[in-house]
Amino acid sequence: MTTFRDRFEQLGYAWPDIVPASLPFLPATRIDKTVYVSGQIPETGEHIAFTGKVGDAVSIEDAQKAAEICAANILFWLSRELDGDMDRVVQVARITVYINAVAGFSDFSNVGNGASEFLLNVLGDKGKHTRAAIGMAGLPLNVPVEADAIIHVR
């Protein structure tokens, strides 16, 4: 039987190793049967994989990869919130993908597809979700993409 972690690694991603920052908010919190995951940036270990604006220093392809990393980090925090029991996931309800782009850029949906396709590939039907892909004038640490999520669990 293939687990979500197997599918995750088959996609070529190492399981994230993220240390919670000392910030005045939680990376994820569960309220009843809903997990809210805070905005995730394309960080891998102690490094930021991509910086800059999409349409300038960052190509659409790299922005899609950044969105995939953000989605992987969402799953990392979700797994931690569920004590590793991802069988408790009922459905990813919604993700929002924020894109740090140059003025005039309009291919936000294409960038957001990086996160959406990753979740579908790893979680299958449980990864189907609603989504918004929104252009921003800037993001923390000058990353090109940030994503957050709302996930229903049992």
**pLDDT digits 0-9 by tens, 67-83:** 999 999 999 999 999 99
Residue 87 has pLDDT above 70, yes or no: yes
Cβ atoms 38, 25 nearer than 8 A? yes
Q: How far apart are CA 22 and CA 34, in angstroms?
A: 24
47-48/89-100 β-pairing = unpaired
Predicted confidence at residue 43, as pLDDT, reads 94
Q: How far apart are CA 104 and CA 113, in angstroms?
A: 19
Average pLDDT in the chain: 93
Residue-range domain boundaries for the chain: 34-153
Q: Using one digit for the tens of pLDDT, what is the confidence trace for 40-73?
A: 999 988 899 999 999 999 999 999 999 999 999 9
Enter the pTM of the model. Answer: 0.95
Predicted confidence at residue 2, as pLDDT, reads 56
- 34-153 has which CATH code? 3.30.1330.40
Residue 1 has pLDDT above 70, yes or no: no
Where is pLDDT greater, at 14 or 33?
Answer: 33
Residue 21 has pLDDT above 90, yes or no: no
Q: How far apart are CA 8 and CA 132, in angstroms?
A: 23
DSSP string over 91-123? EEEEEEEEEEB-TT---HHHHHHHHHHHHHHHH
Residue 6 has pLDDT above 80, yes or no: no
Q: What phi, psi does 39 have (nearest 5°)?
A: -55, 130
Share of the chain above pLDDT 90, in %: 82
Predicted confidence at residue 71, as pLDDT, reads 97
Angle at 91 between CA 130 and CA 10, to 5 degrees: 95
Q: How far apart are CA 64 and CA 61, in angstroms?
A: 5
Cβ atoms 129, 95 nearer than 8 A? yes
Question: Which residue type does 41 have?
Answer: I
In angstroms, the first-to-last Cα distance of the chain is: 21
| Arithmetic mean of pLDDT, 115-139 | 96
